[in-house]
Structure 1
């Protein structure tokens, strides 16, 4: 052994830290290089000798030497042992580590939230995935995994099993008669909107958008080059009378207007479709929350009453009925748009995972989706009732006009409306300090004007916790109303 080894044995000590042993051994050797007791070209002791000196397992020393070699601090050659690499002294004095350092205190500091964790998360647009039957869910994915592996690239004509399953499901639940080959599967509503913009040539043209409206959809449309023309909604949703002949398309959520919660009545639906057909306007129907209704009958989707004129592009998604982690949506486009839809998807390469599509198809065909929707509807109805009742009790002592609840007949959220004098942004921020995460209507408006309020999602709020959330909201609202 070289002359350096005895000195190294005498001076090398392990740092007293919580780091893994291999890192501590490597760091102690770097310290020797840093102070000059080890220089480039010097040999390191054998792994066995150093392990005996440090009273550690030899494997830990082997791991440390491997770390030094992989980081360029040392070189190992068969028959020549391990030696300090050229330039190691410069790197050591510059305190270049041989591994990625994660300091416990820094990690804890950076991970610590600035605000207390939310006691009640009322973020809308999120169903409760805990309601999904794990037996049905696992069975669906096992069935998909058992299918033969193919080399086919997913595209507009792919996923025949899911398209057949969805065609039958939409006929039963939404009254939409569509052939499987009319459905196009896409990875999310954003992909559906981008593709429709390209297929209909909406770039640079006016597209009517609900105000307040679904901000994510507006962001996608704006990013795709359209000129969104925001039109205020009323208690019945989007008013067809506000459309112009120059509007190339109109985006709407007739089942449960997002976020105000209006259900567009049948008369307005019929007029919207008729006016769009007469003017050549494309109606993009986002069937948001179309599956969940409480104490009211289902209203027909715009697509189901669009017979002959073919001006409605229907968009649906699994995100709101199962979980947002399922990036699956579907489009039923007017026949004139389908070739452009196919070309746009081919060009963008946006596609849904084949395994996911097969699993969802099995979930539908086995009856699991129908069972889930029935079970979820009962649960959401009970949660809605508990939350609404508790909120009404909290607000019963408020005599200021403009305070009320909207959108309680369907969907997965309600809107607590407030007077125009209330700063709903400040109110939402104060509620975060009280453990309630709930967005204000400002998140869905494009101008400072417009309705004020809170958009309260109750899908993940158990009945037993509804009272606590309502009390927290009621206390803050009463302070803001003064």
Structure 2
């Protein structure tokens, strides 16, 4: 005969957690089973009696009993009440839960506090998608959705509407004269770089890379088999004199060096292209945010310079002008590389979504992109001015020698340069604790040496918030300097 313990409920105690009440009641009964105070075949107190003892609603006890029955810890029979099921003691001692558990133990949760959301996220490389006209955006996607649905997967010669629209856009904004059939649409800059490595046979060969430079691009090149040779940049960006005859290619960001922000002057651009054309070196021009410049005139893209089409592979992207959510980039490569690009993309099968490409084409053809760039440029210029002014005012008030702001003429970020003695990694970590997410230049260096600083993206920082973010940065920087 099973042991009957009608007063057993008097020992039940609810665990002190933030779990739902039904889970806590069920867990208290499991504790009784683990401790041997309840055994297989024992009856559970009536739901009314247990609810009165725990001073909870009877419905919560009913839900807890249902949970125990559904998980196999108890059996409910009409006229016999609810009893502990056979094998429940073994399962309870093995700490099998009566419900799905998706969090760590309370002790572990208390030991590892959750990281608070930053008040200001100054991560560079992110435009503000809130500046996109929702009317224009929705109209472009409605137009794309109205097109016939096809079963073809677009290859290197696909997306004719987008290639045609981009050819016109690049001619107007970047001075690049290219036919639509010269453009290749790819799903992101990473895809463009991997394709160029394969098409140009860069595997195992030296590719000059800026130091500090765009870390993700360097990793894409290296993972594709290229051997990057990092060379330091100066106030003019990449120095053409640092290229060697053994370099198969050179990756650079001449419009706004990433991350230091330098704009390569016209003389350096012309020399880089001329030297590359003479030596057979491929120049990979990443024009990641060339559309945004402030208080300065536009400089020609390397691709648009005399002999540029013969040695420059131009790479552009929608990620920096609209949103990273659009995985669309484009490549205009020297004619000799076209067959290799086609083979590489046919091999990998990488392609862009046809509907996304068609929507972007409509967005460009309707004039929406031009309107967006004009509106965004005004907004970004105002945000840049507010942030830089607040930062300079904060730092000048405390007399911080060796600190400056660089890269303010273009792009979507500036660099707060610091003395070599400052640990910018520790500085970035401390700012994170104070609610400011901003990477250090260490994230873009390949060696322990090199410049020190913070890479501050201001595209998503409203003017009204500039003083607050700059104030926190200034206070933390001053502590690290003194």
How far the C-alpha of 1:30 sits from its partner, in A, is 8.0
How far the C-alpha of 1:193 sits from its partner, in A, is 0.9
How far the C-alpha of 1:307 sits from its partner, in A, is 4.0
Matched, 1:228 2:225: no
Partners in 2 of 1:99 and 1:264 — Cα distance? 61
How far the C-alpha of 1:19 sits from its partner, in A, is 6.2
Cα distance change on mapping 1:291 and 1:33 into 2, 3 Å = same
Partners in 2 of 1:478 and 1:374 — Cα distance? 37
Task: Please name the residue that 1:134 is paired with.
Answer: 134
Partners in 2 of 1:8 and 1:136 — Cα distance? 72
**2:425·2:440 contact (CA, 8 Å) conserved in 1?**
yes
**2:273·2:308 contact (CA, 8 Å) conserved in 1?**
no
RMSD of aligned alpha carbons: 3.7
Matched, 1:165 2:165: yes
Task: Please name the residue that 1:461 is paired with.
Answer: 461
**Structure-to-structure mapping, 1:103-252, within 5 angstroms:** 105=106, 112-114=113-115, 116-252=116-252
Partners in 1 of 2:294 and 2:177 — Cα distance? 24
Cα distance change on mapping 1:19 and 1:414 into 2, 3 Å = closer
Partners in 2 of 1:10 and 1:144 — Cα distance? 70
**Larger deviation: 451-460 or 393-402?**
393-402
How far the C-alpha of 1:401 sits from its partner, in A, is 4.9
TM-score by length of 1: 0.83
Cα distance change on mapping 1:21 and 1:465 into 2, 3 Å = closer
**1:25·1:64 contact (CA, 8 Å) conserved in 2?**
no
Partners in 1 of 2:304 and 2:165 — Cα distance? 18
Partners in 1 of 2:355 and 2:422 — Cα distance? 49
How far the C-alpha of 1:284 sits from its partner, in A, is 0.4
Partners in 1 of 2:176 and 2:110 — Cα distance? 53
Task: Please name the residue that 1:432 is paired with.
Answer: 432
1:66-90: CA deviation from partner (whole Å, max 9, x where unpaired): 9548xxx899xxxxxxx99997775
**2:209·2:218 contact (CA, 8 Å) conserved in 1?**
yes
Partners in 2 of 1:404 and 1:249 — Cα distance? 33
**1:423·1:452 contact (CA, 8 Å) conserved in 2?**
yes
Q: Paired residues, what number?
A: 467
**1:22·1:63 contact (CA, 8 Å) conserved in 2?**
no
1:31-53: CA deviation from partner (whole Å, max 9, x where unpaired): 999879897xx9x9xxxx999x9
Matched, 1:97 2:100: no
Task: Please name the residue that 1:372 is paired with.
Answer: 372
Partners in 1 of 2:126 and 2:91 — Cα distance? 50
**2:127·2:460 contact (CA, 8 Å) conserved in 1?**
yes
How far the C-alpha of 1:133 sits from its partner, in A, is 1.4
Cα distance change on mapping 1:352 and 1:36 into 2, 3 Å = farther
Matched, 1:406 2:406: yes
**1:276·1:311 contact (CA, 8 Å) conserved in 2?**
yes
How far the C-alpha of 1:27 sits from its partner, in A, is 7.6
Partners in 2 of 1:459 and 1:282 — Cα distance? 32
How far the C-alpha of 1:400 sits from its partner, in A, is 5.8
**Larger deviation: 284-293 or 18-27?**
18-27
1:333-367: CA deviation from partner (whole Å, max 9, x where unpaired): 11111211121122222222222222222222222
**Secondary structure of the corresponding residue to residue 300 of structure 2:** coil
Task: Please name the residue that 1:262 is paired with.
Answer: 262
**Structure-to-structure mapping, 1:330-341, within 5 angstroms:** 330-341=330-341
Task: Please name the residue that 2:304 is paired with.
Answer: 304
Cα distance change on mapping 1:458 and 1:410 into 2, 3 Å = same
How far the C-alpha of 1:160 sits from its partner, in A, is 2.1
Partners in 1 of 2:478 and 2:31 — Cα distance? 63
How far the C-alpha of 1:480 sits from its partner, in A, is 2.8
Partners in 2 of 1:160 and 1:11 — Cα distance? 77
Partners in 2 of 1:340 and 1:121 — Cα distance? 40
**2:274·2:307 contact (CA, 8 Å) conserved in 1?**
no
Cα distance change on mapping 1:24 and 1:440 into 2, 3 Å = closer
